[in-house]
Amino acid sequence: MSRNKTKRGWPDTACCEDCGEYFWPVLRRFSKDVFRCHNCDDAQHKRGHCGACRGNNIPIEGHHVEMHRNNADWIVDVCLNCHAELTERQLTWSTQQSSSRELGLKDMQEIGERRRKWRERNKLTYRA
C-alpha cells in the first residue's frame, strides 16, 4: 500500500510545525494544516541516544534491525523518527536478493546518515 502525502490527502508542503521535518512516515496530522513529527510530539518515551542518526536527548524506542520474525534478539535503540523510517523501509524488503541482516544494516546506515545531514543543515534541537 502506498502511503505518500498525496494519497493521504496531505499537502506537498506538509511538515512538522516544530522542527520542519517533512518526510511523511514520521509525520502525524493534527488538523488540516498542522503536522508534528514523532520526536517533537512525544512526551512519554525515555530520552537517549539514537543508534541510527546519533541524535542525543531525543525520544527513543527499540528497533528490530532484522525484523522481529527474523531475529527477535537484535534490538537497537533509535529515535521515533528513525524508527518510523526504518520500519517503513522494512515493509519493502526482498530477502531473495539480500539477507535481512544486510538489509537491516544498510538501512540503519543510509537512514542514519541522511537524518544526521538533515539535522546538521537545520541545526535541529528537540524540546526537552
User: Each residue of 22-80: pLDDT tens digit?
Assistant: 888 899 999 888 999 999 999 899 999 999 999 999 999 999 998 888 888 999 999 99
C-alpha cell at 124: 535541529
* β strands within 57-119, DSSP E: 58-64, 75-79
pTM of the model: 0.83
CB within 8 Å of 85: residues ≥ 6 apart: 23, 25, 26, 111, 115
93 lies in some domain = yes
Q: How many domains does the chain have?
A: 1
82 located within any domain: yes
- Its domain, for residue 91, covers 39-122
In a domain, 77, yes or no: yes
Evaluate whether residue 50 is within a structural domain: yes
